[in-house]
Amino acid sequence: MTCHEAGRLLDAYVDNELGSVESASFVEHLASCPDCRRRLEEREALGRLVRSLPYHAAPAQLRTSVATTPARSRFSAGILALAAAAVLAVSIGGVAAMRMLSGRQSVDATSSVAEAIVGSHVRALMPDHLFDVSSTDQHTVKPWFLGKLDFSPPVEDLASIGFPLVGGRLDYVAGRPAAALVYQRRLHTINLFIWPEANTSADVVRTLRGFQVRHWSRGGMSFWAVSDLNDAELAQFEQALQH
């Protein structure tokens, strides 16, 4: 795949609209093209920024005044007074609004990553894209990532408690390279995404599109687990990896 072809598929990839073959080719191209990875990061950052912008509805009185006032007197004293009041309110509440926006941006960023995690999980479940290395041996899976990532992901086999390791792959989540470890629980697949994280972020437990999503941090790494398992069993999986 060329950079031109990847550029045409960029929006569809971000929106999880690519088929399995195109998605696999796109991810493979990203692995060797820093320019396209940067474009993907910029596109996803723009999406997060747009979703984080606050929306303020106009007061009902102002909307009614604008709709019913004739064009010649549209800027009447009453409307100007309302506008002045709005400016004053914004000035007084500026600090509080900035704090609320900062908190909302943090929540939206976490939601964006969670959505990307589910998208990557769904794409991985498509034929021939779940594994780059298929093995139940952690000593085979862990060395496979050497030279493919600039960090060494922790790899644990949890077969003794019913969550056997079955393989791994290189993936990209929200524009960042990630190690994706694949575990099994009966007929259910668990994808565990791992990447370095400088600052410890809040734990996440949520349901998206019918999938259970959990996030935690440990040892300078960020962990995101996603599966169609019930929440209790995925919680057991997380607890085993937290120890």
Q: Which three-class secondary structure string do you get for 12-27?
A: HHHCCCCCHHHHHHHH
Read off the pTM: 0.60
Angle at 209 between CA 203 and CA 213, to 5 degrees: 20
pLDDT value for 100: 45
As a whole number of angstroms, the distance between CA 25 and CA 38 comes to: 17
End-to-end CA distance of the chain: 42
Q: How far is residue 226's CA from residue 207's CA, in Å, rounded to a whole number?
A: 9
Question: What digits encode the pLDDT tens for the residues 79-88?
Answer: 556 666 555 5
Q: Contact at 8 Å (CB) between 153 and 130?
A: no
What confidence tens digit (pLDDT) does each residue in 138-187 have? 999 999 999 999 999 999 999 999 999 999 999 998 888 999 999 999 99
